[in-house]
Amino acid sequence: MGHAASKNWPKGTTITGPYTWRPDDFRRSIQTEEHERIGMTLRKTYAELLQQPLSPRLELLVHEIKARWEAPSLHG
């Protein structure tokens, strides 16, 4: 097969062609790939964010909330 038939184009390459040459599921395939890529990027970003230490003020707030949650209720 020639280079034009290859699906291994460098990342960022834009390929254009007549709409009639495109398979019926072409757009859906691209959307699925992009959604998967975006999802992976977001999961990685969130995982990295969870590894960051809390600020001192936020740490204090967390301790206050835990203390209130764990304290025996005065009405119970």
Question: If we measure between CA atoms, which residue out of 56, 37, 55, 54 comes closest to residue 45?
Answer: 37
Evaluate the CA torsion angle 63, 66, 68, 70 in order and state its sign: negative
The per-residue pLDDT for range 29-56, each reduced to its tens digit, is 888 999 999 999 999 999 998 898 989 9
pLDDT at 74 over 80: no
pLDDT at 2 over 70: no
User: What is the per-residue pLDDT for 7?
Assistant: 65
What is the pLDDT of the chain when averaged over all its residues?
Answer: 81
